[in-house]
Chains A and B, each alone.
Chain A
Amino acid sequence: MEKKKKGNVFSHFLYSQKTAPYVFVLPFLLSFAIFWIYPMISTVIMSFQNVKPAGAEWVGFDNYAKLLKDSVFHQAVGNSVLYMVLTLVLLIPFPMLWAVLIDSNLVKAKGVWKAILYIPALTSVVISGTLFRLMFSEYKTGFMNQVLEFFGQSPIKWLKMYPTAYFALLLLCCWRWTGVNMLYFLSGLKNIDPALYESADIDGASAWQKFRYVTIPLLKPTIIYVLTISVYAGLAMFLESFMLWAGNSSPKNIGLTIVGYLYKRGIEKNQMGYASAVGLVLLVVALAINMVQLVATGTFKKEEK
């Protein structure tokens, strides 16, 4: 009798309109606490420690001081930032242009091109990395060397030198993401009111003027979105390089990225403290770049209005 009454109170509480939302969001609260806040705090703590199997020892800012003098880390940061900047240059204007072309009535069989350009994004990085490694192999029979031979050049070791290795890495990146970014821009273009182009036509605007004064301003939210995710993806790039060089080591570290270095120190050498410091530097750099970008593009101003 007593038990049943208690159960009723409980179920009344559980089923009430006031409690229900909390029950619904409970999984998020749990996951946020266990798999986000906890690791976040523990990585901040570890970055001030020397973590050994026997236990952790506080070392203050030693890990960060060491990072300042670590030339391999500087190289990794340089590589990641360069890669990020180049992907922004390659993966924003061009996919945007392709999207504008596809959206115009000039191109026939649009659906086919859209699908084909998207297909590389369906492949896992293991597959795309392997295909590109084979294409850029240093042997005479490698595809890119055959192309060189066709133009009368002698074969080169693509993945062992800076400019050519970056060429391979960026080509891989463009191959995988051009179609994806194009789809983002296409969905942005669909949201532009066609009446705006009609009135621009009546005013006698040229194709370039329409692009410059109608398309670009109205695509701004999409551009900012693509910019934001590209900054993150570029700075946090790891697997592309991991697969292209078949492992986390490349000659003279030309393919080493910040996350690659974090992986090397944390997973391969088990230096959790030092690796945590690497990760936090990455976080600060990523957040800082995005803040600058969001302020520069005026995203915050819009919200104030």
Chain B
Amino acid sequence: MAKTLTVSKRRNTIGGTKHTVLSILATVFFLGLSLIIAFPLFAGLLASFRPGRELIRKGLSIDLDFSTMTLDNYIYLFGGNGGKQDSSKYFMWFKNSLLLTLITVVGTLLICYFVAYGLSMYDFKLKNLLFFLVIATMMVPFEILMLPLYQEIINLKLIDTTWGVILPGLCAAGTIFFFRQYMQGLPKELLDAGRIDGANEYRICVQIMMPITKPAFASMAILCAMGAWNNLLWPMLVYRSSNKFTLPIGLNTLLTPYGNNYDVLIAGSMFSILPVLVVFLIFQKYLIDGMTAGAVKG
């Protein structure tokens, strides 16, 4: 960082005005790109305040006509009936999504941590083979296993249960890989120190090593939570009853062949981004660390 700064300083002295012009151009370019990228979401946000009829008439557009805007869609989402007959299931889906995300994150992180701990802290016969298998599972897209897994879940009588949604993904290869990379860099002497103090292998793992792996936990928690919150394909196959649906499935069912409830769908979509957005803005750094870990080492 400091070194690139000296480079730019040197450039400043050589061609100060040229640098300034380029700098303005580059910044304006990113401003424009950001505006384009933000447009669909901004238009969606505006649309979420429009009544259904207005929404279909105007579609997605930047139209700041406040006179037609209303909070009705949001009131309806959270149980007020806003002029419509049946009450909304949105709140239930929201709760289901929160619960599923929580269970998935806690379960996945703990299990992947233990597996990665075994793979990185010990030398044993099957170690390399097992690590190869972890990589191999990453080479096969989930979509190929989706059908046989679906059938297996039916046979195991786990269909329409949260176990059915969570179990197949609990040992996430990517998460194991990340934890292993992180722990390779930790001093193994800590294990021996623990052993001398009389702690058994499992206590060392939980009480000594887990606290110093915290940054890795933070990164993986964010990444895993976002994945679980937005996951559609697998939960859509497993869940059958609408009172178990998560947000993405529930929102998707609002699009029926008999007239689309775009007003509620858009308002519900916009509101469902909110928690992810807040988490992202707070923990951005951890998310980026977790995400890009594989991209650098190749």
Contacts and interface: CB of A to CB of B under 8 A. Distances in A.
A204 B205 CA distance: 53
Interface of A: 15-18, 20-25, 27-29, 31-32, 34-36, 38-40, 42-43, 46, 98, 101-102, 104-109, 112-113, 115-120, 122-128, 130-132, 134-135, 137, 139, 141-143, 146, 175, 178-180, 183-184, 186-188, 191, 194-195, 197-198, 201, 220-222, 224-226, 232, 235-236, 238-239, 243, 246-247, 259, 262-263, 266-267, 272, 275-276, 279-280, 282-283, 286-287, 290, 299
B64 interface: no
A225 B177 CA distance: 14
Given A122-B280, A146-B59, 7 more contacts: A22-B124, A24-B118, A36-B137, A102-B30, A119-B41, A131-B60, A262-B147
B43 A131 contact: yes
Main secondary structure, interface of B, reads helix
Interface in B179-206: 195, 200-202, 205
A128 B265 CA distance: 12
B81 interface: no
A141 B44 contact: no
Contact of B144 (A22, A104, A186, A280): A280
Given A98-B33, A120-B37, A127-B251, A188 B296 contact: yes
Interface residues of B, number: 102
Nearest to B251: A126
Interface in B34-70: 34, 37-38, 40-41, 43-44, 47, 57-61
Contacts of A221: 295-298
B26 interface: yes
B139 A134 contact: no
Contacts of B147: 43, 262, 266-267, 272, 275-276, 279
B269 interface: yes
Contacts of A188: 292, 295-296
Contacts of B200: 15
Nearest to A113: B30
